[in-house]
Each structure stands twice: as structure tokens, then as C-alpha cells.
Chains A and B, each alone.
Chain A
Amino acid sequence: LVKAPQTLAEMERVGTPAKGFPALEQLLSAASGSALAPATCHYAGLVAQGIAAEASALKTEFAALAQKDWSESPEDASSAFAEWINQWLGGLEQLRWTHIEKPIQTHRTTGASSSEPVAFPRLTREANLADWRAQ
């Protein structure tokens, strides 16, 4: 936080792992019930504004897509449909393998005790943080 940005525009210089909901979660949980330090509070406010700006941009772009007359541009329609298909194929496969099957298979094949819980990703704040850092 020493070189923390002071404005939302300066947040552009900040990498993804230090922004968004996971960053906000970490800042708030680090306070463990007590008030945030002023610098932390300011940064958390910028992170929250960044989330709001991102959500707003998504809403605007989705609204534009919803209003578009796709029948006038078959090429655009085809490209958008292809992207949508690939997104759901990739997302479904990511959910299936990375988040469900891989943790169970790893648990079963690495000699873990049956009493030891399966390490599903993002169950804890620490796991969430590690996951973000690995991206």
C-alpha cells in the first residue's frame, strides 16, 4: 500500500490479483473486525469503485448487444454465437475438471487419508488468494 494509487484512473496500473472481489475480501478480512487503517481504507474504496465501474461497463455492453439487430449482420451474429459457444464449452470444462473432478482425483491418487477433506479450490480465503496468484 506504500505506492498505492490515489485515483480510479491510477488503478489501471494495478495487476488483476490486487483488484476485484478477492482483493476487497482480503483487505476486509485482514482487518478482523477492527477499523481499516486510513491508507487501507482508501485503497479498499478504490477497489470497490473499480468493481462498480467494471459492473457498469458490463451492463452497458450487454445492453448494446441485447439491442443490436443481429439479422442485419450475419457475420457479427456468427462471430458472437461462436464466442458464446466457446465460452460455455470452456467454462463448463473448467468447472468440471478444475473445480470438481481434479481435486477428487488428486485426493484419491496421492495417498491422502480418507478423513482428510478434498482440497476443492477457493474454499478458504487462503486458497482463493493462491488461486488468484497462480493465474
Chain B
Amino acid sequence: VTSLQAMARLRPAQYAEPPRPGAVLIPIESLLIGQGQLALAQRWTKALDGAGAELAALTQLSSDIELLAMAQRMKALTVLYQNEVAAALDGRWGFRRPMAIDLSAPVPTCLSRSHCLLAVAGMAVWPGAWAATRGACATLVAAWEADNRDHVGLFAVAGDTWSVQQSVTVPTRPHALLTEPDGTVLAVARRPGDWLLRWRPATTQQQQWRWITGDRRFNGHAVASADGAQIWTTETDLDSAQGRLGVREARSLEKIDEWATHGMGLHELLALNPKSGALLGQWRLGDPFLSIRHLAWDASTQRLGIALQAEHPAAEDR
């Protein structure tokens, strides 16, 4: 944070004499001012100074609460950059996060691409509520970002309004959500992820956390076996970058086995024997710039929907 402060904000003397291009590094604050983004430049420096002050106040005896506060300051800084500063600079510097859903707003008539991505990535129908409210309104499970924190929750959609019913804060951005028959929700960290959460929105029972350690990381998906006895989680072996399917006991979520998924960058589109993990089928796309994201199976029409992300270098090829 300290080095970032030195390079990302103006020094006091530079407010009187701005840095000259070609002579010194132009700090981000200066670039923002140059773009006419005065208010954003002020918020940027305030976030930097806040993180710097928090860091300076830490000691070896700082409590966990103080450390977590520091972590939140740091996250606020990266989120501010990714969500607002990068866009204002109009450059390809730093990846941008999808927009957070504003849950106080009415459902837009036409969802933006960012909203669609979020909806595809982290939204599912909550089975109990869906059955009760089919038609005019529904309860959906979704993941979103608000106040620099990531959340998983239930929200009710009725007509053109939506409202949060219950939610839980999760440590990092989640990816896929799996609703279970009893109304619990499994949320998995986005790759390379390290947590798996079973959230019980309808009860007061404790949440169930599983942390992945060593050379494995979650790859963002969890699927229940047909008999409900197992949960399969997509994982990556960091040593070899090979995909793995973690076989977990459904009740405890403890890992009891692991199957190879016969390739790198596991996402989906693979058929394995549900008893042994033996490879039954594997499908690859002819276009290497198309990336498989999510699958949806419609049993009534026997059709498989596949969500793809086009990653062609040239926008016109997408």
C-alpha cells in the first residue's frame, strides 16, 4: 500500500506543479484529474490514504478484528479501482469486475451484459420458494457484490421489483450456486477458490464451511450425484494444472475420493462414470477461442444448453 501510495497519488508539491509527462511517472490520481474526474480522484486518494493509515497503525499485537478491518480497506481499494477508476481511465489497465447488482433497483427491462454474466454465473432458483411462488413472483438464489463484500442470498422477484430476503457474506467472489432438495445452498469460490459453503437459509443451524488446502483449489462448480449421497466439486491440481473432480460425502462435505478429468482448466462438458470416475465421453469445441462456462439440462426436451464465452482477440470475431 505504501509503494502504491507513492506511485498512484500526487505528492503535495505536485498539486502546485503538476508532473510533466516524459519526466516522471504520472500517478493515477493525476490521470483521473486530467480526465476531469475530480470527485473520483478525491475518493481514490481517500481510499489510498485510509488503507495507508490503517496499515501504519497495525502492530504485532493487533487483533484479528483490526487485521480484518485492514483487509477490508484493501479490498475497497481494489474494488474501487476495478469498478470505477479503470473505466474512468478508459485504458486496458487492470481487469474490471462485473458490475454489482443494485438490489434496491427494479429489474431492468433489458439486462446489460454484466448483469447477464452475473445472472448466469451465480443465480439459481430456490426450490421450496419457487414451488410456492411460481408465476407472478419467485425467490432466486444469487451471488452479488455490495459494500465491497461478496454475498450469497435469496431475493424475491415480483413484477418489476426485487428485494433481498436473506443473505450471508462470503470471503471471496463465489461462482456457481447449487440448491439442494432441502433448501440449503452450496456456494463455491470462483477459481482458483479455496472455500465451499453450505448455507442453510431456512434454519438457524450453523453454516458448514470446507477449506481446500495444499496443492488443490476449487474450480467454481459443485454437482450432486443422482442419489444425493455425494457432492462432486471441480478442482485443479496446482502442481500439474490438471483438472480433478473431488468426490465428497454429501452430509459432511469431506473429500473421500478424487477422479481425473482428463485435461487442463476443467470447467464442464465431460461424462464420467458416477461410480468409478472412468471417462465415458469428452467433448471439445472446434473453435479454441470459445470457452465452455455452464451447462443446463432440460429433461423434458432432452436438450443440453451450453453457455460459452467468446474470447477471440478481435472483437468482430466474437
Give A contacts to B, CB under 8 Å. 69-71, 78, 81-82, 84-86, 88-89, 92-93, 95-97, 100-102, 104-107, 109-110, 118, 134
Contact = CB atoms under 8 A, between A and B. Distances in A.
A77 to B, nearest CB: 10
Nearest to A88: B4
A101 B93 contact: no
Contact of B4 (A92, A97, A101, A134): A92
B197 to A, nearest CB: 9
Interface residues of B, number: 32
Contact of A82 (B81, B92, B238): B92
Nearest to A66: B25
A104 B64 contact: yes
Interface stretch (B71-79, B137-145, B263-271, B300-308): B71-79
Contacts of A104: 64, 67-68
- The 8 tightest CB contacts between A and B, nearest first, are A71-B22, A109-B209, A96-B74, A85-B94, A85-B93, A101-B71, A100-B71, A82-B93
Classify the secondary structure of A's interface with B: helix
B286 interface: no
Contacts of A107: 64
Contacts of B67: 100-101, 104
Given A89-B81, A106-B211, A134-B215, A96 B92 contact: no
B94 A92 contact: no
B209 A110 contact: yes
A28 B195 CA distance: 36
Nearest to B3: A88
B92 to A, nearest CB: 6
A74 to B, nearest CB: 11
